[in-house]
Structures are given as C-alpha cells and as structure tokens.
Structure 1
C-alpha cells in the first residue's frame, strides 16, 4: 500500500490545474486515489478492520469514507493476503512485517527527500532550471526513482541474506531463534545538546550526518552493524568482543580526534540479547548505554564480560573504581588496551 492525500478532482483533470503537491504524489504513486477503505476490503476479500490494521501498521492515519486509496494499494493488500491465505504466515505476523516495512520506508523516504532537496536547488539555479522547484522535482523523480527501486530490492536481498547468516554465525539459541550472543557498543557525543543550541539548522544537520556516516563506515569495516542512531548517539553490535573494541577505537579516532567534532564517549557490554522489531533488547544493551554516561571523554570502558572475552595474550585490562550505574547498582567498569 502507498500513502496518498484526499482528492476530489477527477483523474482526467489537466495537470496545469492540479495542486503541485498532488502532481508530485501522483508522479510517485503512478495512480490517483479512487477507493475508500470499505472498497479496498471488498476488492481484496479482507475485513474492514484488517484493512485498517494494515494501513495503520504502515504508519498512516485512517481515512473514514474517503476515496484515499489507489489501485496500487488494493494490489498490495491482495499480494500480502496471498501468502497469508497460503498459510505461510498468519495475519498478525503479516501485520508485524508490514509495520517493519512502514517504519523502515518512512525513514528511508525522509532520508531520500532531504538528500535530494539540495539537488533540486542546484537544478533550479543552473542550466537545468525548469522554472519551478516542482518541475525540477518531477524531473528528478523520473530520473532517480526507477533505478532506485531496483537498488532497494537488491539491498533488501543482500541484507536479508546477511541477517540469516548472522543468526547462524552468532549461534542463535536452539530454544529461541531471537536470542544471540553479541558485543554491544554505544557511542555518545559529549555535550551535544549544549552545542546544538549554538549551531544553525544546517550546521546541526551536517554534524549529525558526519557523525553517523563515519560511525557507519567504522562499524561496517569490522563486520558489525548499526542497530539505530539517535542523532547524538549510535548503538551497534558485533559478533565478537575484539571487533567491538576495534570499532570503538575507530570511532574515537574519526570523531574524538577530529578538532572539528565534539568529543565522544563509548561503552561496551557483551552477552545474550533478544532481536525483535529490528532492534535488540537485554542487559548488555542497557549496560553499554549506562557505561557511556560514566566514561571519560574520548575513552572506552567495558563491562567485565567483554574484558573476559578478549584474549589475555593480546589485551590487558584494569578495573576502575566502582561507581553507581542506574539499574545495575555499584559497577566496576573495566579499561582495556592492547599489549
């Protein structure tokens, strides 16, 4: 299914009389809204409540009685229900998958638009100008979307294969395929809130983009993955403690050692975590986040589990004074370094 806006005009209305936002919507969707929720349900054989659940799972508000849905929306519901009807998954599982698609695509769409806005400005200020930003945006959509759609399918297949491989390589528990043993890292920019109050919007955006992109590069280099980023912090996982420490050292080098960037603090913890909804949960996640709060600037501290996983012939560790860590009581963090 795809989002759309309420529209009372006939599909044949000349483009010149259409609102600019609607022309962009339809250029992307390639169809106009012509069904209400009841008609979608009737066309696909689902109940009205099932149709509404799927729409909410994608992340859109409900339309009551309005012709807000396109032929593509109907086809998407029918496609989804085909593998539910075949018994591959039940409806609740289908809703869960739809929610994952909605959340992921919402962020990707925002990312794509914010990235391409500057390109639209360049086109309108140069020889490629069409006379309006909408005109340039329409042209860019025509040029970018078809190959980008193919890239999406490729990237999804690649990441799906990698996700399955991780479950096997990380030794998912036989009794619960959601549980894996990992090292969890949390990187946090120091005094980001105070700093952001002194920057304009472009500078804040540039700072966050540099931080996230550099962290992504370092994490990928050591076969880890970023679970989520929150602007001034990044949560990542690796399959082993040594890789996690290497990632942490790399982030300190590319962020904390850069005089143009804020300082950074890092905490690592290791142990079993639960994978759900594209996120991870468990004590190691909480511990890694808490350790960043007590770490010194441009320093890494780890929990004892992580220190114990590092080969003693290559690493030396030093227990730091016990300190209160929220949710864990008194904890003795560990500083590690290569021999």
Structure 2
C-alpha cells in the first residue's frame, strides 16, 4: 500500500489484522496510549503499527495478559503525554527568554526544530531514568515487610500554597506559571534530599511520601524554609500522616493520604500539623508535640491534630 504524504497508511482494521488482535483490542490499546480514534479511514502510520506490534508481541509471550497490557500502556501514555507537554512548554518559555520568539513569527516551527534536536540526545536519558526508577521500585518492594504486597507503611505529606486562588487572581498568567514551576521544583529538591518521593503535584500542592517519619518531618520543615520563609514566595501549610497505603497506578491511596490532606487544610501558615500515629513515632528527646483542640474532620469524625517542632 502506498504511504500518504503525512505517513498515514493503515485503518484500524488493517492494524488489528497485522498485529493479530481483534479490532476492539487494537482500539483499546490505542486509547490506552492516550490517542484518539479516527473511525474507518486510514489513520495509522508505520510507526504506529510498530508500536502496537511491540505490545502484541509481549502479549504473545504470555508474560502479561491483555488487561495488564492495557494498564501498563495507560501508564506509559499518561506519563509521556505529561512529559511532552512539560517539555514543549519549557522549551517555548526558554525560547522566549532568549528572545528567539519575541516576534513569534513561527514559534511552533522554532520550538519543533529545537525540540527535535534536543530529543535526539534526550531519548537515552529517558531510558536510563526509567531503568533507574524501576530498580528503586523493586528495591522498595524487596525492603517492604508488609504482609500484603502492594501496601506499604509510609508517612504521607501534603504541601499546600496558602490562598492560591486569591493569589492567582492578582498575577499574570506568566507569573502564575513561574510561581507554580518554582514551587514544584523547590519541593521536589527538598523531597529528593530527604529520600522521599513526589507522588504528584497539583499546581498549588504537592503530595509526597517518605518511609521514615523523621525524614518526612525534615521534608516538611525544608519546604517551609525554602518557600514559606522566602519573602518572594507565598506561605505554605504542611500536613503529615503515617500509616498503610496502597500503591497503584503510580499513586498512593488510603487513610493516611486523606488525613494528610485534611490536616493541611487546618494548619496555620508555615506550620506543620501531624496525626496521632506519626506523633507516636517521633523520638520525644528530639521533638515537642502539642495536641490541638479536637475538631470534626471530614471522613474521620472528631480528630485531635498535633502540632510539632524540633526541640
């Protein structure tokens, strides 16, 4: 079949036939990658066919079943989509700072050319980072003493910018973007130094976990120092809770996650609030804890938050 000018050659039915799966399975894998369907017309390129063939070849080995393939493929799609948006926006911002996009004559073209040259060297870093993080994830699994595989005991932390909605209404879009970028990058640096992991960022908040409650406290204190104590940055609030969480789809779920979020909402500016479980794990010779007045916490009933600081 001759290939069109834009590389499109195959319909979804032709892709399914060549990869040896049903039409619905081919569509499901394609959707899992995060791409839209295109009906019955030719839509897929040789590269698209090769990607789906890679997935079906893995299925043929019997290492994983179809449902797991869709699950993992969705993770790849979500991660790569966010990384691509992140990379392009960062590249455009970089070009603007350099003045190469001042008149915006062909900003998409300039960004595409620079990004293409950059990506030739960047692809190797992607593979390295994936393998390195995979090794770390397997090491955490091996070190876990939880009876139920997939659950782990951690301290969950939420860092939240105070009054972000009101603040964002007073800033230009560029200033909001700069603020969020600086907030996330500083949080990520502190979390990494304390051997924690960023689970996700939501613009005005960051969710992180740490295996050690003391390091989790040091993370919270560090975030306050680099953001809340910086007069150029807004105030922050930190909530920490310890307990068992379920790790799934690159995220964590469970009562400690919800508790940390609730505690953040009641914390004072540039202060750390923790739950009772975490308070019981902190050495009394290193930390001073103080129970705050009991209050209703959605989903938990009446809770006594605990304020904490180092002696």
> Is 1:151 the counterpart of 2:122 in the alignment?
no
The question of 1:178 aligning with 2:172 is answered no
Which residue of 134, 149, 170 corresponds with 1:160? 134
Gaps spanning 5+ residues in structure 2: where? none
1:10 aligned partner: 4
Give secondary structure in 1 for the equivalent of 2:44: coil
Alpha-carbon offset, residue 125 of structure 1: 5.5
CA RMSD of aligned residues (A): 1.8
Alignment pair present for 1:265 and 2:211: no
Distance 2:31 2:293 in 1: 49
Matched, 1:303 2:279: no
**Cα distance per residue 1:213-271 (max 9 Å; x no partner):** 00000000000011011000010000010010000000111111111111111100000
- Poorly superposed stretches of 4+, deviation over 6 Å: none
Where structure 1 has 5 or more consecutive residues not aligned to the other structure, the ranges are 1-8, 12-25, 27-31
How far apart, in 1, do the equivalents of 2:236 and 2:108 lie?
41
The offset of 1:97, in angstroms, is 0.2
Distance 1:286 1:73, change over 3 A: same
Relative to structure 1, is the Cα distance of residues 261 and 37 closer, same or farther in structure 2, using a 3 angstrom cutoff? same
Q: Alignment partner of 1:226: what SS?
A: strand
SS of residue in 2 equivalent to 1:124: coil
After superposition, where does 1:252-291 map in structure 2 within 5 Å? 252-291=224-263
TM (normalized to structure 2)? 0.94
Within 5 A, what are the aligned runs for 1:218-233? 218-233=190-205
Tell me how far 1:169 sits from its aligned partner: 2.6
Among 69, 76, 79, the residue aligned to 2:51: 76
Classify 1:179/1:153 alpha carbon distance in 2 versus 1 (closer, same or farther; 3 Å).
same
Q: What is the aligned counterpart of 2:213 among 226, 241, 247?
A: 241
* Structure 2 SS opposite 1:274: strand
Q: Do 1:248 and 1:300's aligned partners in 2 also have CA atoms closer than 8 Å?
A: yes
Structure 2 CA distance for partners of 1:170 and 1:314, relative to 1, 3 Å = farther
The equivalent residue for 1:16 is none
Residue 293 (structure 1) aligns with: 265
- When residues 268 and 130 of structure 1 are mapped into structure 2, their CA distance, relative to the original with a 3 A threshold, is closer
Give the Cα separation in 1 of the matches to 2:28 and 2:95. Answer: 36
Quick check: 1:48 aligned with 2:23?
A: yes
Residue 201 of structure 1: aligned partner:
173
Q: 2:297 is matched with which residue?
A: 325
1:114 equivalenced with 2:89 (yes/no): yes
Partner Cα separation in structure 2 for residue 134 and residue 290 of structure 1: 42
Q: How many residue pairs were aligned?
A: 308
Displacement of 1:56 after TM fit? Answer: 1.1
Shift of the 71–221 alpha-carbon distance from structure 1 to 2, 3 Å rule, reads same
Per mean C-alpha deviation after superposition, the further-off stretch among 309-318 and 240-249 is 309-318
1:5 match: none
CA distance in 1, matches of 2:186, 2:85: 20
Query: How far apart in 1 are the matches of 2:159 and 2:101?
Result: 39
1:95–1:217 distance in 2 versus 1, CA, 3 Å: same
Q: How far, CA to CA, are the matches of 1:149 and 1:214 in structure 2?
A: 25
Q: CA deviation at 1:10?
A: 3.3
Task: Decide which moves more: 140-149 or 294-303.
Answer: 140-149
Distance (whole Å) between structure 2 residues aligned to residue 162 and residue 237 of structure 1: 14
Give the Cα separation in 1 of the matches to 2:296 and 2:250: 30
